[in-house]
Amino acid sequence: VFSTATQGVNDYGMQFKERCPLPFLEEVSNTVVALKHLGDFGEAIRKFKEGRFNQDHTPKPLGSREKDLLISGMVLNEWESYQVVAGFGLPLAKSTLVTCLQEVARTADDIGYPVAVKLVAPGMTHKTELGAVRVNLKSSKEANLAAKEMESLFRKASPCGAVEGFLVQEMVGGGVETIIGAVNDPQYGPAVMFGLGGEFVEVYQDVLFRIAPVSRKEALEMIQSIKGFPLLSGFRGRPPLDLETLAGAIVSVSELMVSGKEWIQSIDVNPFISLERGGKAVDAVIVTRQKKTEGSS
């Protein structure tokens, strides 16, 4: 409801506003913005319904391995999250979980330098802030020293905390960091999110949401609709990145969210590094809806 009349009309007017189940808008500019958002929402619903009627692809169901991981705890660690997203085709940086310090250097040698080493502990989601990530390590000595330092820092910060191991991962050079996520919204259900990742997501908040699952065409539209799209399409002579692989990654996360909506509250893949050819996820966290009891479906 928009009216040019003053907002403090009289007692009757105030009572009417309180009883009326509609929003009362102030100022013409706010009303125009509200109409624009209403129109955008209507168009999104129309496209969603058309897509559902025309869509002949049904997301695959969760496998037993994915279900076992999702019912194991409220927050999956990075390695556990990798196992779930990999099951839906998300390309990942080459990674190996080791459970003791002695295996870090050998595993880094096998993967090839440079590598990143990350400490893995239950419930840990912000590894960088906790000093639990070391990147661009160029030798077995550097990798081993980084793991020891991270464990020492963790023990001081969380004397009773448990270290599950160390994730040794290839460094993915070049490209642009993006974020792909999903959430189980209480009103709209599964939704997928895309935008610029890494530090960009906090600074610019350049992200979009769509009702999941999305088709490859819808994923490409999401990519092209963010403000930072020029960074992905070839900016100032830079080569364009592989948008088809990036769109496929968005589709994979959206389908996982739909298939796992009973168990998954949110998915956060940040960053997914988009490259000239291909792309790879280098971090992932899945938060489950609730802890299931043994034997639940």
Confidence band of 297 (pLDDT split at 50, 70, 90): very low
The mean predicted confidence, pLDDT, of the chain is 87
Nearest Cα residue to 92 out of 282, 275, 256, 284? 282
pLDDT at 53: 47
Percentage of the chain lying above the pLDDT 90 cut: 53
The least confident of 58-67, 120-129, 254-263 is 120-129
Tell me which of 58 and 86 has the higher pLDDT: 86
Confidence band of 96 (pLDDT split at 50, 70, 90): very high
131 pLDDT exceeds 80?
no
The least confident of 196-200, 240-244, 279-283 is 196-200
Confidence band of 293 (pLDDT split at 50, 70, 90): very low
> Strands, DSSP E only, in the chain?
75-76, 95-98, 115-120, 133-137, 165-170, 176-185, 189-196, 207-211, 264-274, 279-281, 285-288
Question: Which amino acid, one-letter code, is at 67?
Answer: K
Average pLDDT over every residue of 23-34: 87
Confidence band of 292 (pLDDT split at 50, 70, 90): very low
pLDDT at 158: 79
Confidence band of 55 (pLDDT split at 50, 70, 90): low
3-state secondary structure of 38: helix
Most confident of 57-66, 232-241, 277-286: 277-286
- Distance from C-alpha of 256 to C-alpha of 121, rounded to nearest angstrom: 24
Written as one string, the DSSP assignment of 212-265 is SS--HHHHHHHHHHSTTHHHHH--TTPPPP-HHHHHHHHHHHHHHHHHTTTTEE
CB of 70 closer than 8 Å to CB of 286: yes
203 pLDDT exceeds 90?
no
Confidence band of 76 (pLDDT split at 50, 70, 90): very high
pLDDT in tens, 206-228: 889 998 999 999 999 999 999 88
40 pLDDT exceeds 90?
no
Most confident of 43-52, 65-74, 287-296: 65-74
